[in-house]
Amino acid sequence: MPERTTRRSGLHRSPRGRARLRALTLALLCGATSCAALAGPRADRRGRDTLDVAYGEAIAAATTEPRYLTAWVDHLPTSRAVPSPLQFLGYPIGAPDHLTAPETINEYFRELARRSPRVEVFSMGRSHGGREMLVAVIGSKRHLRALASIKARNHELADPRATDEARATAIAQGTPPMFWMTAGLHSPETGPPEMVMELAYRLAVSEQDHIREIRDNVVVMITPVLEMDGRARMVDWWKRHLQGVTELEDAPPRMAPYWGDYTAHDNNRDGLQATQPLTRNYIETFHEYLPVVTLDLHESVPLLYVSTGTGPYNSAIDPITVAQWQLFASHDLAQASALGLQGVWTWGFYTGWYPGYLLWVSTNHHGVGRFYETFGNSHPGTFERDLSRAEFADQRLNSRQWYRPWPPDKKVTWSLRNNTNYMQTAVLASLQLTARHGDQLLLDFWRKHRNAVARGREGTPRAFWIPAAQRDRGALHELLALLSRHRVEVHELTEARALEEPGGAAIEVAAGDLLVRMDQPYSNLARTLLLAQAFPKSAQHTPYDDVAWSLDYMLGVELRALASPAALELPVRPLPGVPALPGEVAQGSSWVIDHRGQAALASLVWGLPAGARVQALRERWEQHPPGSLVISGIDRDALADVAGPLHLDAAALSGRPPARALLEVNRPRVALFHTWRYTQDSGWARYTLERLGVPYTLIDKDDLRAGGLGERFDVILVPSQGGMSLRDIVHGIDTRWGPLEYTKTDAYPSHGVIDSSPDITGGMGYEGLGALERFVTGGGVLLGLGSGGALASEGGLARPVSTSRPGGSPGSHVTTKVLRPEHPLAWGYPELDWVFRGNLPVYDLREYDRGHVIAQFGDKTFDELERERDREGDVALAGPDAGDVAPAKQDVAPAKQDVAPAEQDAAPAEQGGSAPAGERPPFVRSGHVEKPKALQRKPAAIDVPVGRGRVILYSWNPLHRHQNQHDFAWVTNALLFFDDMPCTPTREAMRARERPDGAPAERAACRR
Burial class (CB in 10 A: 0-12, 13-18, 19+), 81: exposed
Q: Which of 449, 469, 497 is the last residue of a domain?
A: 449
Same domain membership, residue 443 and residue 465: no
Alpha helices in 437-574 (DSSP H): 438-458, 473-485, 523-530, 551-555
Q: Which domain holds residue 832?
A: 670-880+931-1004
Both 76 and 218 in one domain: the answer is yes
At 307 the three-state DSSP class reads coil
| pLDDT for the residue 883 | 39
Q: Which string of DSSP letters, residue by residue, matches 536-581? A: BTT-SS--SS-S---HHHHHT---EEE--GGGGGS-EEE--S----
- Neighbouring-strand partners of residue 926: 813
Average pLDDT over all residues of the chain: 93
- Flag whether 208 is in a domain: yes
Instruction: Report the SS3 class of residue 121.
Output: strand
Max CA pair span of the chain: 97
Q: State whether 473 and 535 are in the same domain.
A: yes
- What pLDDT, in 10s, does the model give residues 322-361? 999 999 999 999 999 999 999 999 999 999 999 999 999 9
Those residues with Cβ within 8 angstroms of residue 771's Cβ, 6 or more apart along the chain or in another chain:
704, 705, 706, 707, 709, 764
Q: Is-contact 253 733, C-beta < 8 A?
A: yes
The pLDDT score that the predictor gives to residue 141 is 98
Taking the C-alpha atoms of residue 182 and residue 224, their distance in angstroms, rounded to an integer, is 6
Cα–Cα dist 833/549, whole Å: 16
The answer to whether residues 296 and 180 belong to one domain is yes
Cα separation, 1 vs 6, in Å, equals 9
Q: Which of helix, strand or coil describes residue 109?
A: helix
CATH at residue 755? 3.40.50.880
Output the pLDDT for position 10. Answer: 36
pLDDT at 917: 57
Which one-letter DSSP state was computed for residue 401?
B
Rounded CA gap, 81 and 425, in Å? 25
Report yes or no: 530 and 561 within 8 Å, Cβ to Cβ.
yes
Boundary (domain end) residue, out of 548, 574, 600: 574
In this structure, are 704 and 782 located in the same domain?
A: yes
**Dihedral sign, CA of 441, 443, 446, 450?**
negative
- Same domain flag for 469 and 426: no
902 found inside a domain:
no
903 found inside a domain: no
- Which of these, 337, 381, 400, lies nearest to 67 by C-alpha position? 337
How is the beta sheet containing 293-299 ordered, strand by strand?
119-126, 132-138, 219-223, 178-182, 293-299, 368-374, 304-306, 344-346
Residues 714 and 835 in one domain: yes
- Kindly give the pairing relationship between strand 781-785 and strand 715-718: parallel
pTM of the shown model: 0.93
| pLDDT value at residue 909 | 38
What is the CATH classification number for the domain harbouring 60?
Answer: 3.40.630.10
d(CA 587, CA 636): 6
Looking at residue 1000, what is its pLDDT?
Answer: 83
Structural domain contains residue 986: yes
Domain presence at residue 581: no
CA gyration radius, the chain? 30
3-state SS assignment for residue 820: coil
| 708 within domain boundaries | yes
CB environment 129-164: b (16+ within 10 A), e (fewer) = eebbbbbbbbbbeebbebbeebeebbebbbebeebe
Residue 473 is predicted with a pLDDT of 98
Confirm whether 60 is domain-assigned: yes
Helix or strand holding residue 304 (H, E):
strand 304-306
Give the three-state DSSP class for 699.
strand
Q: Which of 517, 548, 574 lies at the terminal end of a domain, its last residue?
A: 574
Q: What residue ranges of the chain have pLDDT lower than 70?
A: 1-43, 874-918
What element of type H or E holds 859? none
Q: Please check whether residue 343 is in contact with residue 408, taking contact to mean a CB–CB distance below 8 angstroms.
A: yes
Q: How many Cβ atoms from other residues are within 10 Å of residue 864's Cβ?
A: 14
Q: CB atoms < 10 A from the CB of 48, how many? A: 12
pLDDT at 896: 37
Same structural domain for residues 510 and 638?
A: no
Number of domains in the chain: 4
Are 444 and 468 in a shared domain? no
Under 8 Å CB-to-CB from 858, ≥6 apart: which residues? Answer: 814, 815, 816, 817, 891, 923, 932, 935, 936, 937, 938
Closest CA to 221 of 136, 106, 288, 297: 136
**Same-domain pairing of 97 and 61:** yes
Instruction: Find the angle CA(556)-CA(562)-CA(567) to the nearest 5 degrees.
Output: 125
Residues 320, 362 share a domain: yes
580: in domain? no
703 with 832, same domain: the answer is yes
